[in-house]
């Protein structure tokens, strides 16, 4: 049995310690917001927070995650009101939406560490997340907007 702390809830899972965290989260724990995109840390669809860092769950063995604080997209905020989620809605960022769990989890680390990111900071933080629909211009725009809302303490723009 491996004990996992996901979104502040404890789960006991009976899996091989080698199983990537991604598949434990999706198939065993049953949280499907975290996505499989490439399996080899190329695309960022599987990003979760592990002790606050944007870990790629497809290459993170569940044994490494044991006892660590894991947050998935389902736990990014209580009411879908993280400044990034609000900004994503404001700008209508997602198209198919599949990559955006990972995009948001990556962007959340950026905003935490840099409340006023430049375009270059956004490149540095987000170049690891692929979007095939090509929503990149809007991701950039929405991160700037979220940063602004975060700085001004605005929860919902409207």
Partner 1 sequence: MDTNTLSRRKFLKSTGLTGAALFLGCYFPASAREAKILNAAQPETTEIELNAWILIDTSGKVTLLSHRAEMGQGVYQSLPQIIAEELEVNLNEVNIIFAKGDNKKYGNQVTGGSSSVRGSYKNLLKLGATAREMLIEAAAKKWNVANEECYAEAGHVIHKPSGKKFHYGELVVDASKLEAPKNIKLKARSEYKIIGKPLHRQDTPLKTNGTAIFGLDKRVPNMLYAAVERNPRLRGVVKSFDDSAALKIPGVKKVFKVRMGVFSTYREGVAVVADNTWAAIQGKKALKIEWDDSGFEHLSTDEIYKRQQEDLKTKEGLSFRKVGDPDSIIQQAAKKIDVVYQTPYQSHSCMEPLNCVAHWQGDKLEIWGPIQAPDWVQDYISKEMNLPRENVIVNLTFLGGGFGRKAFMDYPHEASVISKEIGAPVQVVWTREDDATQGPYRPGISYRCEGVVANGEISAFKVRMAGQNNGHWMGGKKDIANRSATEGFLKPYFDSMKNISVADVPFETPIPTMWWRSVYASTNGFAYESFMDELAIAAGKDPLELRREYLKDERLHRQIDKLEEVSGWKNRKKNEGFGVAITECFGTPVGQVVKVSKQKDGKIKIDKVWAVVDCGWYVNPDTIKAQVEGSIVMALGAATIHEITFKDGMTEQRNFYNYRMPRINDIPPIEVHIMENDADAGGVGEPGLPAFAPALTNAVYDLTGKRIRKLPFSLATV
Partner 2 sequence: MKRNSETAGRYFLPVKTISVLAVILSAIGIMSFGIKNKKGVTKSNIQFENSNRDSIKSVKAFMDVYKVLMSPRCVNCHPSGDVPLQGDDSHLHTMFPRRGVDGKGVYAMKCANCHQPANTPGLNTPPGNPNWHLPPANMKLVFQGRTPHQLAKQLMDPKQNGHKGKEQLIAHATDALVLAAWNPGDGRALPPMSHEAFKKAWTTWIENGAYAPKPSKVKARP
Positions in the binding site for partner 2 (CB under 8 A): 40-42, 44, 47, 53-56, 59-61, 64, 105-107, 109-110, 113-114, 121, 123-129
Instruction: Give the nearer residue to partner 1 in terms of CB position, either 54 or 139.
Output: 139
Torsion on CA atoms 142, 42, 68, 112, rounded to nearest 10: -20
**CA distances to 8, 19, 67, 116, 121 from 29, in Å:** 13, 13, 15, 35, 34
- Helix, strand, or coil (residue 53): strand
Chosen residue from 2, 46, 65, 73 binding partner 1 by CB under 8 A: 73
Chosen residue from 6, 46, 93, 147 binding partner 1 by CB under 8 A: 93
Q: Residue 46: which of partner 1, partner 2, none does it interact with, CB under 5 to 8 A by kind?
A: none
Nearest to 87 by CA among 98, 76, 71, 75: 76
Question: What is the rounded CA–CA span in Å between residue 2 and residue 66?
Answer: 6
The CB-of-83 to partner 1 minimum distance in angstroms stands at 11
Q: Residue 154: which of partner 2, partner 1, none does it interact with, CB under 5 to 8 A by kind?
A: none
The CB-of-126 to partner 1 minimum distance in angstroms stands at 5
- Residue 66's Cβ-count burial label (10 Å; 0-12, 13-18, 19+) is middle
Question: What is the rounded CA–CA span in Å between residue 25 and residue 105?
Answer: 15
Binding site for partner 1 (CB under 8 A): 15-16, 19-20, 23, 26-28, 30-40, 42-43, 45, 72-74, 76-77, 80, 84-85, 88-90, 92-101, 104, 122-123, 126-140
């Amino acid at each position: 049995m491996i004990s996992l702390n996901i979104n502040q809830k404890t789960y006991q899972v009976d899996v091989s310690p080698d199983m990537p965290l991604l598949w434990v989260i999706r198939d065993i724990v049953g949280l499907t917001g975290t996505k499989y995109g490439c399996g080899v840390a190329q695309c960022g669809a599987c990003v979760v927070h592990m002790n606050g860092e944007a870990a790629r769950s497809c290459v993170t063995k569940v044994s490494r995650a044991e006892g660590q604080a894991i947050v998935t997209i389902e736990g990014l905020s209580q009411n879908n009101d993280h400044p990034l989620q609000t900004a994503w809605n404001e700008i209508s960022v997602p198209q198919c939406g599949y990559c955006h769990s990972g995009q948001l989890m990556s962007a959340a680390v950026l905003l935490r560490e840099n409340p006023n990111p430049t375009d270059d900071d956004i490149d540095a933080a987000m170049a690891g997340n692929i979007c095939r629909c090509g929503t990149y211009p809007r991701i950039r725009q929405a991160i700037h907007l979220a940063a602004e809302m975060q700085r001004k303490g605005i929860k919902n723009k409207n």
